[in-house]
Amino acid sequence: MTDTDRCIEDIVTAFLGNAFEISPSCRRTGLSGLHALDAGAAIARLLADGQIERAKLLILAVGHARACQEGQSKEQADGYGDGHLGEQAASPQGKGKKRSRRPPAAAASAGTVSKQAKSTRDDKDARAVFLFNADMVPTSALRRLPRPSADYVRIIDAAGRCYRALTKIYGRSSSLHEVRRDTWAACFGKSLRHAIDLESVIRDQDVLILGETGTGKEAFARAIQVATPGPRGGGAAPSAAINAAAVPDALVESELFGHIKGAFTGASEHRIGRLRSADGGSFFLDEVGDLPLTTQVKLLRVIETNDVYPVGSDTPHRVDVRYVAATHKELQKLVVEGHFRGDLFERLAGNILYIPPLRERAEDIIEIALPFVQRVLNPQHYGAQIEDIDRFLRSDTAQHYHWPGNVRELQNVLRNLILGVAPGLKGQKSRVTNQASADATIPEYITAATANLRQVQDWYVKRVLGQCRGNLSQASRVLGIDRSTLRRNLERK
């Protein structure tokens, strides 16, 4: 295998698949290959040699890597998701200062690309040229692909938008990372090869997001919507949304399906409705469990036939929409009780995502809270208060609290702390009832101040590891050391 072939193999292995499933080491190997390879020349050579499928995979992989790097800091781009998964920290005044730097090839060729794109506005390959930056693949070579190059670009763009949307959701817990991974898979399948070859299958597989109130279902729904491939000319696909719980039963059908003038009292003009406004893209139905049964029947019919009948009209309108639904209710229980149609549930539940409550991922509390606080409090003027808030968030009271309101409740608590008032934890009891019970677990040789430093350290490391249920990554973050140091400490005992 030549060096070029090895680079191609490394790039495809790292960047063709799920951006949240590849190991950091594999990703770094892929980035090394990406930096070493003249991707444009390699793609042109593969096409000239008749290796069409391999060229297609390389195009998707290179494009995916660069689309995910777009708008990130150099450290984030080099790691391509390795490390902090939260969005970039905002300035204390609330205006995020994103530091981004293009890869060297992109910076060197920015002017050239801009001129070429300007001279070929009507050429559907122009966006592909921009995406690949300096790797100028000849148009004659791109014509050997089984699809127009713009078809690959729209998938690549969608994958980049999805990655950026998912990495803006705060939290480093393994459970939240799994939700990111599963969300990406719901958008693109196993890899971008599936995304382009099986797009119609993926599009026909609707998504149901479940989770308690305040867990962030809407954020994941938005990620799915922005990940819907748009038109060949570039950009996101159309999208629309509705909260079924916020619309009166008498108006929900008009909101969904539209109405004609005079269909009912107050219908003074035609309205196309949310579904038709999302034609060619995605539609988010929040709190689907609150949808009236009569509307459920009509919605199911629309999903199965793709025909929308506005209220008061017998004329159907074709729509092509991917449905994303969410609810905090137990839909299967509602089906058994007769409050939700089983056939609609089965249709929407093609792909089910479950967002875990905050109490099951306490390690995300700091990740979510501190950026929220720092957007309001300037560390230069409120450093002591920020430290007090940080201390509270790391305390047993916060870490073991039930958080029935999840992230929304956490934000309310943070506002109270910012204003200098009591957190207001809704009267919920902490699992740690008082300091005496906590102190009772501390060995006497420590409370009596007779232990040496090594004994105190060993006991505390063991305590933290137990609190983290054996999770070395989480324990190392609490201790402020890396995993290798923690592992050596454990092996020393």
Task: Indicate if the pLDDT at residue 117 is higher than 50.
Answer: no
Compute the Cα dihedral for 54, 60, 66, 69 and give only its sign: negative
Strands (E), 370-479: none
Task: State the DSSP H helix or E strand holding residue 160, giving kind and residue range, or none if neither.
Answer: helix 149-167
Cα 35 from Cα 103, distance rounded (Å): 9
Q: pLDDT tens-digit profile of 258-315?
A: 988 887 888 788 889 999 999 999 999 999 999 999 999 999 999 999 999 999 889 9
β-strands 282-286, 317-318: how paired?
unpaired
**CB of 287 within 8 A of CB of 328?**
yes
pLDDT 10s digits, 194-252: 999 999 999 999 999 999 999 999 999 999 999 999 887 667 899 999 999 999 988 99
Q: Judge whether 153 and 131 are in contact, CB under 8 Å.
A: yes
- Position 64 scores a pLDDT of 94
Residue 445, both tokens: 């040789």
How far are the Cα atoms of 12, 41, 76, 117 from residue 142, in angstroms, in the given order? 19, 12, 31, 16
Q: What is the pLDDT of residue 72?
A: 56
Q: Using an 8 Å Cβ cutoff, are 392 and 430 in contact? A: no
Residues 476, 479, 485, 490: is their CA dihedral positive or negative? Answer: negative
Q: What are phi and psi of 471, to 5 degrees?
A: -80, 105
**pLDDT mean over 478-485:** 82
- Cβ contact 322:228 at 8 Å: yes
Domains of the chain: 3-203 (no CATH), 224-356 (3.40.50.300), 442-493 (1.10.10)
Lowest-confidence region among 26-35, 367-376, 403-412, 420-429: 420-429
Contacts of residue 391, defined as CB under 8 A and 6 or more positions apart, other chains included, come to none
Flag whether the pTM goes above 0.85.
no
pLDDT of residue 427: 59
Rounded percentage of the chain residues whose pLDDT exceeds 70: 82
The residues with which 327 forms a beta bridge, in sequence order, are 210
Tokens of 464: 């933290």
SS3 call for 416: helix
Cβ-proximal residues to 196 (8 Å cutoff; 6+ apart), any chain: 56, 60, 147, 151, 152, 155
Q: 102, 98, 101: which is closest to 87 by C-alpha?
A: 98
Residue listed under structure tokens 């059908």: 253
pLDDT of residue 369: 93
Amino acid at 261: K
| Calpha distance 241→231 (Å, rounded) | 20
Within a 10 A sphere around the Cβ of 280, how many other Cβ atoms? 15
Residues 406, 357: Cα–Cα separation, whole Å: 6
Q: Which long-range contacts (CB under 8 A, 24 or more apart) does 90-97 make?
A: 90/371, 90/374, 90/375, 91/375, 92/374, 92/375, 92/376, 92/377, 92/378, 92/379, 92/380, 93/375, 93/378, 94/375, 94/376
> How far apart are the C-alpha atoms of 193 and 152, rounded to whole Å?
10
Name the DSSP letter for residue 94. S
Residues 6 or more apart in contact with residue 327 via CB below 8 angstroms: 208, 209, 210, 286, 287, 288, 289, 290
User: Could you report the per-residue pLDDT of 57-115, keeping only the tens digit for each?
Assistant: 999 999 999 888 875 544 444 444 433 223 333 333 333 333 333 333 333 322 222 33
Number of C-alpha atoms within 13 angstroms, CB side, residue 267? 21
- pLDDT over 70 at 360, yes or no: yes
Determine phi and psi for 329, rounding to 5 degrees. Answer: -90, 160
CB 39 within 8 A of CB 199: no
List the one residue out of 237, 219, 241 whose CA is nearest residue 227: 237
DSSP state at residue 17? B
CB atoms within 10 A of CB 156: 28
> In Å, what is the CA distance from 85 to each residue of 16, 28, 75, 177, 364?
20, 16, 12, 9, 11
**Rounded percentage of the chain residues whose pLDDT exceeds 90:** 57
What gap in Å lies between CA 129 and CA 43, rounded to an integer? 13
Computed over every residue of the chain, the mean pLDDT equals 82
> Collapsing DSSP states into helix, strand and coil, what is residue 262?
coil
Provide the CB-side half-sphere exposure for 197 (13 A, CA).
Answer: 10
